[in-house]
Structures are given as structure tokens and as C-alpha cells.
Structure 1
Amino acid sequence: MKTYKLFLMIILLMSSSIFASVSRNEKNALLDLYTATNGDNWIKKWDFNQPISTWYGVTVVDDKIVSINLSSNNLVGSIPSSIQDLKYLESFNVFKNNLKGHFPSELFKIQTIKHINISFNMFTGNLPESISLASGLVSLELFMNQFSGSLPNNI
């Protein structure tokens, strides 16, 4: 009987991890990113019928999105403000795409962010003062964009 209970407990634990998923806010932030960057024309698209952990360039750890790497994937458009809802994000890489607009300052509101690479895009304007909010930031790659002005004083 003990063996049966142990077996049942293992099955329940395994099934809960299979069906576990990221929060609704995080999923919506990813869907916003897909829509805002013309996801239907990406080179490697996301299959919405599959778990988020299988989506190209998305890393999920303990049901939290910790990394997005969509470099060289034909993203066109801009980064939506809902990106800040990825509150466990540590790394954001959209190197070599066709993104435009101002720097997505909402990335600096993510307290866990450590690495940002938005190089080889068409971002414009000044870098935001909110850069000081990203106290854990280790690397910030911005080259080959069209930023203007000087670096914020708080860097």
C-alpha cells in the first residue's frame, strides 16, 4: 500500500510540473511582444498551441520567464510597454532586427534584469534617466542604433 501511495504521489508531482505555466501577465506580455514586432513574419515563430517553455528564444525556469533571445529573427516594430510585466526577466536580447522607436525604458523597471542587448536595430532618441533603476544591470549593448544626446548623469 505504501508503494502505491508513493507511486501516486510521484505521478501527481510529475503531472503538476507538466501542466505548470507562467503567469497570465507574463504570457500576455509575450503575446504583446509578438504582436508589436510582427510575429507572423518572424523567421522562427511561436507555436501558441505548445507550452511557453517550448517557444523559440524564451527560457522558463520555475514557471518564470527569465530570458528572451530573439536575435536575428526579423522582428519589426517596437517593444511594447508591457515588457515590464516580465518581472523575473534577467536577459533580453533582440540583437540584429528591425526594431524602432525610443529605448524600451520599461526594461529598466524589471528589478531582475542583468543583460540587455538591443544592438543593430533602429532605436532613436535619448537614453532614459530610468537607467538608474536597473541596479543589477551587468551589460547593456546599444551599438548600431541611432541614439542622440548624451548619457544620463546617473550612469
Structure 2
Amino acid sequence: MLKKYVVFYLLCMGVGYSSFALDIIAEEEKQSLLDIYNSTNGEEWTVSWDIGSHVGNWQGVTLKNGHVVGLNLFNNGLKGTLPQSIGNLTHLVHLNLAFNNLTGQLPTTIVKLENLRVLKLEMNRLKGALPDGIGRLHRLEELSLYNNFISGAIPESVGNIKGLRIFNLSSNNLKGIIPASIGELTQLEVLGLFENGLEGSLPQEMGKLGHLKELVLANNRLGGEIPVEFGQLASLKVLQIQNNSFKSFKGLKLMDAKQFLVFDTDDTTLGPYNEINLERMRTRTADTKFEDDDNNE
């Protein structure tokens, strides 16, 4: 009888311990979430948090093994600045704060989130330069910051993010050149730099982007010649480079006109390229559409 009682007691203790373990979250990470809540007017969010309840019940927060691995507050009425303490959420894999009214500079501590795979901050009012150490986010697969007021140059260190598939900085205030290191992003499928103040020539290293499907560089101050290495971009379906100052488009003649769904340049003499379905070209805009693939996650 005693043996049965001991077994039953241990089982109860095990269940109790498991339940207790599920409620544990690192205090530093909880405080970071509270800092975000307080600095972005959390009480006025579209869906607010009951900060008196367990963190696992907070809207958009995903926990795993006692750590915050996901924060999705897409289109949730955030208004204000992001705190530097966001850098303490070092287990974050997915961060989506897009389509809000975030202001101020992107916290420099964002580069501490080295487990991030998705960083979506598009359609806000963020300003300032991208941190030079952005390349520390080496696991990143998607970096989307379009429609903000990001200024400065594209850091050379972006070339360290080898697995990046989507890189969209369209409709910002970027200056300077497109760094040659961008050619190291050999998994890249979408590159959006539309409507900035970028200048200089396109780096020939871009010819190494064999998986690239969309290249949107329109409305900048880019010049020089289109590199002949563009002929290697066999996967490219969307090319928009109009409203720049290119002096020669000969490099485009090495590409197969049949590969394109959208083809926009300032050169009207490219023969078969001009026969691409014009209606598709008119209805396709730069990748700044008002939607988000993650908004139901």
C-alpha cells in the first residue's frame, strides 16, 4: 500500500513540476516585453496585453522552453519607439512589428538577436541608419523594412547573412552605393531597393545571385553600365530599373527576354523586351503592397 502511495505522490509531483515549468519565463525577457508594451503605448493597442496574466497568454507572444521565440504584433496599433532592451530577447526567431506607427531609430541592440530568421518592420516611421553589425544576424532569411525613413548606407556586413532570401529596403532614404558584398547573398530571391537615393554603378558581383527572382531598383540615382554578369541571372522574372541614370543597357541584351514577367527600364530600344505584356507591367508595382503573409500567425 505504501509503495502505491509513493508512486502516486511522485506522479503528482511530476505533473505539478511540469505545470510549474510551463509558467517559467526568464525575467529579463519578460521585462523586455513590458518595455516594448510601455514604450509603444500598449494600453491603446488594437489588442492589448493583460500584463497581470501569464506571458504565454499575451497576444502575439510565442514561448518555447521558457523563452520568447516569436513576437507578432502586425498592424496592432503600436505607437512610439522600440526600447534598447529588445536586444535581450536573444531567443527570438520571428519578429513582426510591421504596419504600425513605430518611430525613432532602430535599436542598435537588434544585432544581438542572432537567432532571428524573420525581421519584419515595414510600414512604420523608423529613421536612422541600419546598424553596421546587421551582418551578425547570420540566420536571417527575411529582412523587410520598406516604407520607413531609414537613412545612411547599406552596410557591407549584409553580405554575412548567407541564407537571406528576401531583402526589402524600398521606399526609404538610403544613400551611397549598393555594396559588392550583396553578391554573397547567393540564396537571395527578392531584392527591393526601390525609391531611395542610391547612386554609383551596380556591382558586377550581383551576377552571382542565381536564385534571384525579383530585382526592383527603380527611382534611385544609379548609373554606369548594366554589368554583363546580369546575363547569369537566369531565375530573374521581375526587373525594374527605370528612373535611374544608366548610360548603357548592353548587359541586358545577354538575358533571355522570355524569362521576364515584368521588365521596366528607361531604354526603349531593347527590341523583344518591349513586347513583354505591357498590361502586366502597368499593374505590377514595387514590392510595397499593403498586406502581410504573417498576419495570421
Shared fold, TM over 0.5 = yes
* Partner of residue 16, structure 1: 17
**Farther off after superposition, 33-42 or 13-22:** 13-22
What residue ranges of structure 2 are gaps of 5+ in the alignment? 159-297
Higher relative contact order (CA 8 A, sep 6+): 1
| TM-score after normalising by structure 2 | 0.50
Q: Does 1:80 align with 2:67?
A: no
> Distance in 1 between the 2:88 and 2:37 partners?
14
* Partner of residue 50, structure 1: 53
Native 8 Å contact 2:88 2:112 kept in 1: no
Higher-Rg structure is: 2
Give the 3-state SS of the residue equivalent to 1:99 in structure 2. Answer: strand
Give the 3-state SS of the residue equivalent to 2:104 in structure 1. Answer: strand
> Distance in 1 between the 2:126 and 2:110 partners?
14
- Offset, 1:11: 2.2
* Partner of residue 105, structure 1: 108
58 and 118 in structure 1: CA distance in 2 versus 1, 3 angstrom threshold:
same
Kindly report structure 1 stretches of 4+ aligned residues shifted beyond 4 Å: none
Counterpart residue type for residue 63 of structure 2: V
Q: How many residues align?
A: 155
Pairing of 1:1-150 with structure 2 (within 5 A): 1-20=2-21, 21-150=24-153
Counterpart residue type for residue 143 of structure 1: Y
41 and 131 in structure 1: CA distance in 2 versus 1, 3 angstrom threshold:
same
> Distance in 1 between the 2:114 and 2:107 partners?
15
- Offset, 1:114: 1.5
Residue by residue over 1:15-41, the C-alpha shift from the partner in whole angstroms, topping out at 9 and shown as x without a partner, is: 223233101101111110100101010
What residue ranges of structure 1 are gaps of 5+ in the alignment? none
